[in-house]
Amino acid sequence: MSLIRLQNITRSYEMGAETVHALCGVTLDIQRGEYVALMGPSGSGKSTMMNLLGCLDTPSSGTFELNGSLVSKMDDNQLAEIRNREIGFVFQSFHLLPRSTALHNVELPLVYAGIPTEERRELAKASLRHVGLGDRMLHKPNELSGGQRQRVAIARALVNNPAIMLADEPTGNLDSRTGEEIMLLFDELHRKGNTIIVVTHEEDIARHARRIIRLRDGLVAADEKNVRSMPRAMAVS
């Protein structure tokens, strides 16, 4: 069974009198453990796709199955639960709560999952150590560098062990060296078995993925294995 199964997904936006078709019938499967880059020029539907995959939004038509459940028919509360359990988001602009410490930011998904205080504190600490921030737990976002903030976001995304980690231009706000470090962290997470989907328009970033899906005008224009990534990943490990 595929982890993600999209069939004939469309998504259109009503803009006054006219309708914008952001996705015009996308069909694809993603398996557990894959590392996928979603590429395409601006306006091709990447963000729309990302919102659907992240269960932040529902399609206008078509079916979306995630881990065996039919997401396309879910209501608001069910979607919130799915997001909490199955999805870990990493955003371009980090989207951390500015007034909360790194630790509390990472704990938050567990609060909403109803995990008891002690347990969730331990899980959050472990997750922060995992991304190399064991010594920054009580810092607020504005006391951290961009790369560190993105690591907090990654720790938050992974803390409740989601089925997918979804990253939207995760290096877009970082300098190239820090961006590269974050991508190496992604590689490592992938090796440990996490399913990762990265939305990007940079070939350098997409290079890390094992599969590249290219969108154009709301349709899948290409979907291929990324042979180039293999030797590099080998070299790192």
Partner 1 sequence: MRFLDELREGLVIAWAAIRANKLRAGLTILGVVIGIVTVTLMGSAIQGIGTSFQRAVGQMGADVLYIVKFPPFEPQEWWKVRNRRDITLNYARAMERQATQIQMVVPETFTESSVKRNNRSASGVRIVGTTESNFLIRNFSTSKGRFFSSSEVDGGRPVCVLGADIADKFFKYEAPLGQKIWVAGIGYEVVGVMAASDKFLGMGSDNHVFIPITQFTARFVNQPDVTILVKVRDLEKIEDASEEVRGIMRKLRGLAPGKPDDFGIIHQDVFLKFFSRVGGSLAMAALFITGLSLFVGGIGIMNIMFVSVAERTREIGIRKAIGAKRRTILLQFLIEAAAICLIGGLIGLAIASSITLLMPKSLEARLSPGIVAIALGVSILTGVVSGFLPAWRAARMNPVDALRSE
Ligand X SMILES: Nc1ncnc2c1ncn2[C@@H]1O[C@H](COP(=O)(O)OP(=O)(O)O)[C@@H](O)[C@H]1O
Cβ burial of 116 (10 Å; 0-12, 13-18, 19+) is exposed
68 and 27 in contact (C-beta within 8 Å)? Answer: no
- The entry of Mg ion, partner 1, ligand X, none that residue 40 binds, CB within 5 to 8 Å by partner kind: ligand X
Q: Is 10 a residue that touches Mg ion (CB under 5 A)? A: no
- The entry of ligand X, Mg ion, partner 1, none that residue 81 binds, CB within 5 to 8 Å by partner kind: partner 1
- Indicate which single residue of 2, 7, 10, 47 sits in contact with ligand X (rule: CB under 6 A): 47
95 to 114: interface string for ligand X, x by CB under 6 A: --------------------
- Indicate which single residue of 35, 64, 91, 186 sits in contact with partner 1 (rule: CB under 8 A): 91
Q: Is 2 a residue that touches Mg ion (CB under 5 A)? A: no
Q: Is 233 a residue that touches partner 1 (CB under 8 A)? A: no
* CB burial string 10-48: b at 16+ within 10 A, e below: ebbeeeeeeeebbbeebeeebeeebbbbbbbeeebbbbb
* CB burial string 181-201: b at 16+ within 10 A, e below: bbbebbbebbeeebbbbbbbb
Q: Would you tell me the crossing angle of helices 76-86 and 102-113 to the nearest 10 degrees?
A: 130
- Indicate which single residue of 25, 28, 29, 43 sits in contact with ligand X (rule: CB under 6 A): 43
204 and 184 in contact (C-beta within 8 Å)? Answer: no
Rg (CA), the chain: 18
Contact positions with partner 1 (CB under 8 A) in 122-181: 156
Number of helical (H) and strand (E) elements in the chain, helices listed first? 8, 10
What distance in Å separates the CA atoms of residue 225 and residue 83, rounded to the nearest whole number? 28
What distance in Å separates the CA atoms of residue 194 and residue 13, rounded to the nearest whole number? 32
For Mg ion, the closer CB: 159 or 220: 220
Q: Is 17 a residue that touches ligand X (CB under 6 A)? A: no
Q: Minimum Å distance from CB 235 to Mg ion? A: 32
- Indicate which single residue of 4, 9, 48, 89 sits in contact with ligand X (rule: CB under 6 A): 48
What distance in Å separates the CA atoms of residue 110 and residue 14, rounded to the nearest whole number? 36
- The entry of ligand X, partner 1, Mg ion, none that residue 92 binds, CB within 5 to 8 Å by partner kind: none
- Indicate which single residue of 12, 47, 178, 226 sits in contact with Mg ion (rule: CB under 5 A): 47
Number of residues near partner 1 (by CB under 8 A): 27
Q: Minimum Å distance from CB 94 to partner 1? A: 10
Q: Minimum Å distance from CB 95 to partner 1? A: 5
Residues within the interface to Mg ion (CB under 5 A): 47
